[in-house]
Amino acid sequence: MGNTTMDDITWVTDPWGHTTRIIHVPCGASRCNMYDSRKSTSRTGSSPSSAQSDDGHDQEIIEYNNGLTLINHFLPPEAYHVLLETIKEDFRELEETKRREQSTIPQNHDTINPSITPKNSQPKAKPKLRRQAIHYGPKYDYTTNHACPNSIPNPTYIQNLIERIKPHIRGLDINQATIQYYPPGSGIPPHIDTHSCFEDEILSFSLGAGVNMGFQRGDWGTREKMFAPRRCAAISTSTSNSDVAQNTSGSNGNATGQTTHSSTPSTSPKPSEPSTYHEIHLPPNSLCIMSNEIRYAWTHGIRSRATDDGIKRGDRYSITFRKVDFEGVCACQYGVWCDSQQGKSKD
């Protein structure tokens, strides 16, 4: 059992000390075919073989003492651009679906009370752009930082990217992917992903515009937020994942054969301890891997602001990968923030 008091935790010395190395990734057939051939042909006009024409590329790997790894230039340039266009098309299709649904509602029609049509109604202000997400595999719950069942499997182009990632992770069997779109200026509140249902490594692949991600060492305030009543997800362990997905598909909108999506408001996380708050720039075509201390005991988030270090933000996309285990039990050394260890004394 891990440490359940702050005083018992042994923090990494010099958490942001790091080493940097360059590796050459050969362009083998299995590694360069990064995307579904149907999508690459219909959406970009290029064939999969065009991404296999070079002799490979170099990756820059930065490894921090606290368990954070950043891999720059993760994909060959052409494969990266094909993946970016594929994801953009997914969100265009999502917006078109939403537009068609909204077009069926009469103008000035009260959707709460359809019998009321207001007179002299003024046009509503343009809504603030929000972060949007498409979920494959178990769906991430932004209220509880937990997961809920979802029957939609990873598409081929996502599974191909996972194959690329495997050499950089310790046997993690990824079964969840969350694709997100961040409009310029948007962010995500600081949080620690729930320990029990997500295994050690959390990964985020960045596309489009770069952004600064902020990291903050956890404290008692972090713990209080994590275990507030609304954060406590009630997940039944007596029913299999597939059974729950079938029984709850009507309530969470996850119909078979459809991509699930959600829109969540962005708020601005404010660091409470400047001495431990630290930002890392995530450039496009980079893979961020969080493990050990940085995964279990530090919050991560993106502040809502127009610029990072004086550089104006643009449209950003990310793919977050996790291994979800609904029956998981965590025995980490950071029990203060571990849901499996609450109310238990350390051995």
Does residue 333 belong to any structural domain of this protein? yes
What is the CATH classification number for the domain harbouring 337? 2.60.120.590
- Please enumerate in sequence order all residues whose Cβ is within 8 A of that of 94, keeping only pairs 6 or more positions apart, or say none: 132, 134, 259, 261
- Domain extent, residue 292, equals 19-100+129-341
Q: What span, in angstroms and rounded, lies between the C-alpha atoms of 306 and 301?
A: 15
Give bridge partners of residue 206 from the DSSP assignment: 286, 318
Does residue 271 sit in helix, strand or coil?
coil
296 domain residue, yes or no:
yes
In a domain, 2, yes or no: no
Pick from 299, 110, 307: nearest CA to 217: 299
Considering the domain boundaries, does residue 7 fall inside one? no
In a domain, 4, yes or no: no
CA distances from 49 to 24, 42, 53, 81 (A): 20, 15, 7, 15
Domain total of the chain: 1
Has residue 84 been placed in a domain? Answer: yes
Q: Is 138 buried (19+), middle (13-18) or exposed (0-12) by CB count in 10 A? A: buried
Answer left, alpha or beta for residue 301, where phi above 0 means left and psi between -120 and 50 means alpha: beta
- What size, in residues, is the chain? 347
Q: For the whole model, what pTM was predicted? A: 0.76
Please report whether residue 10 resides in a domain.
no
Structural domain includes residue 120: no
pLDDT tens-digit profile, the chain (347 residues): 566 788 889 999 999 999 999 999 997 644 555 544 334 433 444 444 344 445 899 999 999 999 999 999 999 999 999 999 999 999 999 989 888 888 776 665 555 554 444 555 555 555 667 889 999 999 888 777 778 888 899 999 999 999 999 999 988 999 999 999 999 999 999 999 999 999 999 999 999 999 999 999 999 899 998 888 655 544 433 333 333 333 333 333 333 333 444 444 344 445 444 479 999 999 999 999 999 999 999 999 999 999 999 999 999 999 999 999 988 999 999 999 999 998 765 55
> Structure tokens of 63?
């490894």
